[in-house]
Copies of this chain bind each other. A is one copy, B any other.
Amino acid sequence: MERIPILKMGGFLLVTIQVDMHDRLALTLQDDLTAQIIRYRARGVMIDISSLDMVDSFIGRMLSSIAGMARLLDANTVVVGMQPSVAITLVELGLSMKGIRTALDVEKGMAALQAGVLEADQGQDENTEI
């Protein structure tokens, strides 16, 4: 159980974080996730953190770098299921989670990703027209 499973759902990927993250596991997740974004031509990544009672700066950084990598591969990232206590801690720690979109649950995250993809597609259409 040295890997965090990545589930493909439509054009999106879903990752559920439920174990304590450490360096090697985070690196494996980044490798697996970037590989699968390319393999499935995924346009979005959802990261469910509903089972995390706390998020420290290590996990905050990991989420930010995953979002950054996904963006470079043309995929949006949405963090879903954040617990109230986690939101409080993040603000108190001064971790802004810059560049990360959040949604209440997987369904709302999926809707946000679909809206994002539509926006992006429309943006491309506009560019093509010019």
Contacts and interface: CB of A to CB of B under 8 A. Distances in A.
Interface residues of A, number: 23
A78 to B, nearest CB: 13
Copies in the complex: 2
A29 to B, nearest CB: 11
A81 B8 CA distance: 11
Interface stretch (A50-58, A68-76, A90-98, A120-128): A50-58
A89 to B, nearest CB: 15
A107 interface: yes
Contacts of A52: 1
Interface in A1-21: 1, 3-5, 7-10, 14, 16, 18-20
